[in-house]
Structure 1
Amino acid sequence: MPAVTGVSFIIQVNTGAEETPVWTTVAGQQNATLNREVDEADVTSKDSGGWYEGLPTIRNWSIDFDGLIVENDGGYQALEDAFMNNEILQVQLVTPAGNKYTGKAYLTDFPIEAPYDDAATYSGTLQGTGPLTKTTTP
């Protein structure tokens, strides 16, 4: 499979019900980063021969993103409403091949930048709460 550019990675939010999601693309997107991390437990002992030993423990994920503000867009409005009301969203990052990383998240920051002589932009971090699942397209 050839390499792909990031332009086709799309963030979507569920604007329907959890049981019957309606995936709405957030307009104006420019960048997105899916962060995946695992904490670890230090299990180093005198039997480790002077080497660190660790075990994976709790996983976590987040999505950092930014884009151009499109105020009347349903996806952008869902982010705005969730931030203002301190709500958890269902979100997904869709890849060019149609693979989907899906989970529940809340916004930990959501600044608006409105420079005098340039486009108005948003950025934010969606902090995952609970599992991140990956659905692959056959």
Structure 2
Amino acid sequence: MSGKVSGMKVKLFIKEAMSGKVLAGQRNATLNRSAESIDATSKDTEGFWKESIQGFKEWSIDCDGAFIESDEAYKILETAFLASENVDVYLELPSGTKYEGNATITDFSLEAPYDDLVTWSIALQGNGALTTTAAPVVPGV
């Protein structure tokens, strides 16, 4: 087994605030993680090379999907966007590993080209920590 993962098996889930119900509906997704670089260079740095340490971190998710009017996930996202509310989301790998957090919807577009499928795209900016939950270990496997 190669350990490679197909992107079509990675899913973004949106948790509905009232019921805790988990919904999905995306086609593509990108998890972005970055950190500030803090200059830690001093006069005694060896060889005059800059040194740095990691500062504040941030995360975001960009994704898109095919627009389906009856899709509950789309309705939850639209309602949250219009009400200026954050959403709880997680990205799940086929292994069961999850990247989870609370996010602000910073962009929510609907594209309706004349000769193609109607699609939506969304940008989610992390609000606080992104937690990682490893896939559960199954005994004997």
Report the TM-score, using the length of structure 1 for normalisation. 0.91
Deviation at 1:52, TM superposition (A): 1.0
In structure 2, what is the Cα distance between the partners aligned to 1:70 and 1:101?
Answer: 26
In structure 2, what is the Cα distance between the partners aligned to 1:21 and 1:99?
Answer: 19
In structure 2, what is the Cα distance between the partners aligned to 1:71 and 1:126?
Answer: 21
Amino acid across the alignment from 1:36: R
Deviation at 1:109, TM superposition (A): 0.6
Amino acid across the alignment from 1:91: V
Q: What is aligned with 1:22?
A: 21
Amino acid across the alignment from 1:47: D
Q: What is aligned with 1:9?
A: 10
Amino acid across the alignment from 1:38: A
1:34 corresponds, among 20, 31, 35, to 31
- Post-superposition Cα deviations, 1:50-76, rounded to whole Å, max 9, x if no partner, equal 111111111110001011111221111
Establish whether residue 90 from structure 1 lines up as the match of residue 88 from structure 2: yes
Amino acid across the alignment from 1:21: G
In structure 2, what is the Cα distance between the partners aligned to 1:47 and 1:64?
Answer: 42
Deviation at 1:16, TM superposition (A): 4.0
Q: 1:16 to 1:85 in 2, by over 3 A?
A: closer
* Structure with max Cα Rg: 2
Query: Unpaired segments of 5 or more residues in structure 1?
Result: none
In structure 2, what is the Cα distance between the partners aligned to 1:100 and 1:117?
Answer: 36
Instruction: Quote the sequence identity (%).
Output: 43
Q: CA RMSD in A?
A: 1.3
Q: What is aligned with 2:48?
A: 50
Amino acid across the alignment from 1:101: Y
Aligned residues: 134
In structure 2, what is the Cα distance between the partners aligned to 1:125 and 1:94?
Answer: 17
| Secondary structure class of the residue paired with 1:72 | coil
Deviation at 1:21, TM superposition (A): 2.6
In structure 2, what is the Cα distance between the partners aligned to 1:106 and 1:131?
Answer: 13
Query: Unpaired segments of 5 or more residues in structure 2?
Result: none
Amino acid across the alignment from 1:22: K
In structure 1, what is the Cα distance between the partners aligned to 2:106 and 2:75?
Answer: 16
In structure 2, what is the Cα distance between the partners aligned to 1:71 and 1:58?
Answer: 39
